[in-house]
Structure 1
Amino acid sequence: MQNYLEFIGNELKALTSIPSPSGYTKDVAAYLMKTLSDMGYEPQLSNKGNVFVTIGGEGNPLVLAAHVDTLGAMVRSVKANGRLRPTTLGGHQWSTADGENCTIHTRDGRVYTGVVLNTEPSVHVADSAVETKEENMEILLDENVDTKEGTLSLGVQPGDIIAMDPRTQITPSGYIKSRFLDDKLSAAILLGLAKCVKDESIALSRKVSLLFTVYEEVGHGGSFVAEDTTEMISVDMGCVGSDLGCTERMVSICAKDSGGPYNYDVTSALAETAKEEGLDYAIDVYPHYGSDVEATLRAGYDIRHGLIGPGVYASHNYERSHMDGVKNTLLLLKKYIQK
């Protein structure tokens, strides 16, 4: 098991190192295509940019979905002083990004570094603190420009992508700290599952496919799946916080979120499997959450649905999880696809 956990940790670092805010995911999709092909699978890239691969089995098709698009921002306009006014991509929280380093990706392929700051960040200058809401935020390029014309001459323009630095770390004690564990941690777990199935020649009890989506953060990542799908489980982050049982070292099984209850039988089967395997798990209700599989249901697919994931603390912030949560999630998935 340890070799798979190390593999997942390395894949997480690789995935988070590839900027992929919603709408700018071609590079991370290309990475997934190559990684899965190198394992001996035959992944497919959809018109939308999702990556789909069947890892084995026949009948009663199950899809396991994780998303690789992240929160981020886009250049809304270039200001007179050469700084960039941003607009949010997904549920990005500016209060968590004030002072964060970032990269700006232009339409012609140039990449610039910068920093996110509010319009008056210095306590030695400001009479009072500036509220960290979008209209008060700007991106300062690490370039010698102080006019709109100067910034435009670099090739930076409205519509360019702004990606926050992930700052991914895995500590000797097993804690995982990074932006975008939602949901690149679970994407790495699915890659670990694919490796496990291939390396161990695991016989699957049904057709099992993996779906890596690229528009989850804006609500329609999982809106299209293979027509033969009968069951779909979103493998996303498990919530950790007030009034919840899950910790960073557990696998979370969601019974209900803002979109309503998950399939009762699927949720029960996941919980029973976790119990049988002696895994550390919790069944929780997420009051402010939506997943890929709910987009699938809203698109009209007649499927059973579920949601699990490793416990992640401080979602949409600088997030934290633990390798124990990764292990519990991987073992639950491994057993579930064999039942």
Structure 2
Amino acid sequence: MDDVQPNRSAADRARWRRYLADERAEAAVYRELAGRREGEEREILLALAAAEGRHEAHWLALLGDDDSRTPRADLRTRMLGALARRFGSIFVLALAQRAEARSPYATEPDATPAMAADERIHGEVVRGLAARGRRRLAGTFRAAVFGANDGLVSNLALVLGIGATGVPSSVVLFTGIAGLLAGALSMGAGEYVSVRSQRELLEASAPDPTAREALVDLDVDANELALVYRARGMAEQEAIEHAALMVARVQAAGRVATPTDALAVASHDDEAVGTGMSAAISSFLFFASGALIPVLPYLFGMDGTAAIVTAAVLVSMALLVTGAIVGLLSGASPLKRALRQLAIGLGAAAVTYLLGLAFGASIV
């Protein structure tokens, strides 16, 4: 590679230095995250850091091992590093997933095809790690986010609709508080029932652990176990072959050491659902916290148009934050999700406000 170095322009060298800085920063991010993990996840993150180190060596070789005048990494990567040092959470993995997807190596003539392929695979690896974290958060977090959003939107709509009729601010305040309590209790109860029902469905679908005791006595020629696998979605031939293998293992092992995976199914559904009580509490608290925001101006003595505008501004800010958080965790654009959340929330509030104006005018 050194023989091409003297013929390259200053712009090429500057670009290589930027790539070198970014690779070093990305490797540092993965090492920071690895320091907060253990077991398999730690090993995966360290392997990603090592891969970024190989990319770093490529650019350093093109520069003739001269890393002087290497700039700082781009702002996004530096922010990612700062978040990894302070939090090391699922949010950082979601951001890292987006960073890997933005790799320029596919169109970079000085990057090798292996480097471009690495970056694409890195994105999938990080996506898998982020998915683990999302599954751990899914039940409680889903209840929290939707609870907060429902509280923000429903109580803003309620407060703006009542406020637009021209009733005294004390009426609006008590209406908002009533909406907060009623909505929070309803959300908490509904979430508890929903999660408990989902868990009961999963438990009903799980294999009976005592059924494997019958495997040792199965007829190899008939092999009823194949029907189990076909019922779970396997193709007929695949089910027959898999069942024959399982029966052979069971009969070779005997009753004492029956393979425990013969009837098992791999599933993360139970982990993702969460518990009914945690989901209910999260839903109640976050709905209440969201529903409190549009009531705040009236709690502090504001009334009329000033209170309505203040409530709308406060809720808009909160909707942008919750929308961005959902975007980060889902690996989507935080800005798009934030703006979508804002548009939906303000749209619903605008409808009730206009209805309040209409009813207020008819009453007058």
Structure number with higher strand proportion: 1
- Shared fold (TM-score, shorter chain, > 0.5): no
TM-score range, shorter chain: under 0.3
- Normalization by structure 1: what TM-score? 0.22
Structure number with higher helix proportion: 2
Q: Which has the larger radius of gyration?
A: 2
